Amino acid sequence: MSPLGKLESALCDTNGVYIGAEQNAEEYLAALRSDIRSHVCEPFQLSATVMAPGFPDVPVGSVPTGQCVAFREGYWLIYESEKDRFLCFWGTDRNSLGAHGVYGSPLYCWSA
């Protein structure tokens, strides 16, 4: 399946998404899905340096690579096909991004 196909099929996964007591869960999740979809891009390869706190399976200082499937200023949603997971990269210079250990469902990553 393509990275965008993986993204679309994973938008129903709400694992890890924090929803405050005052928020309407359905509205909040719908808004997250809409925001991701409005920032979807043609996938392209992107790398970042793992920063603290890091990932459980990737040491700080490593440089993971994946397919960027959505981005907005300073925030990059990545699909890592080798591990079949989504993760976040942060930064405004796409040649110098950081990965701070946020991974999981696209909704969780986008809300982090």
> pLDDT of 22-31, one tens digit each?
999 999 999 9
Res 1: pLDDT: 87
Identify the burial level of 39 via C-beta atoms within 10 angstroms of its C-beta, where 0-12 means exposed, 13-18 middle and 19 or more buried.
middle
Residue whose pair of structure tokens reads 């930064």 in the numeric block: 91
The pTM is what?
0.93
Res 90: pLDDT: 97
Positions of the chain with pLDDT lower than 50, given as ranges: none
